[in-house]
Amino acid sequence: MSHPVELWLFDLSNGMAKQLSMAFVGKEIEGIWHTSVIAYGKEHFYGAEGISHESPGSSMVGFNTYKRFPMGETDIPPDVFYDYLKQLGNGQFAGENYKLFEHNCNNFSNEVCTFLVGKPIPDFITNLPNEVLQTPFGQMIKPMIEQAQLHVTSQNQGQN
């Protein structure tokens, strides 16, 4: 049985990146991308809490989908997929491995789409962090974001 796979793209800046990026980064950036993969009737995504599954549109970013990309169909049975996600969640995509610029939701979506349909997500999504980091502004904010992320991660680990 074949299952549709779709990539959902969200702009976490809600249009602000497009308006302000030229002033801060020196080039227009259309959005600050968050992605999730819709498969088997669920929305699958990754963040500092690890891998999550929700009903489509009920995740942290809600129904404010910027774009939807049909990625294709998969013949991989749901139980095989969820075993695969469990392995990813216990290793490469455990919550403590999340890094905003280097290992994020978009890397996860890329991995999942490649597994399910044999093709990666669009490059403009996965290349965005590197584009920003190559600018003086990106180099300036990276240490601040990493420090804030360490603080949030240590707080989350203290709650467990």
3-state secondary structure the chain: CCEEEEEEEEECCCCHHHHHHHHHHCCCCCCCEEEEEEECCEEEEEECCEEEEECCCCCCCCCCCCEEEEEEEECCCHHHHHHHHHHHHCCCCCHHHCECCCECHHHHHHHHHHHHHCCCCCHHHHCHHHHHHCCHHHHHHHHHHHHHHHHHHHHHHHHC
Dihedral sign from CA coordinates of 108, 100, 51, 124: negative
Residues serving a catalytic function are: 34, 105
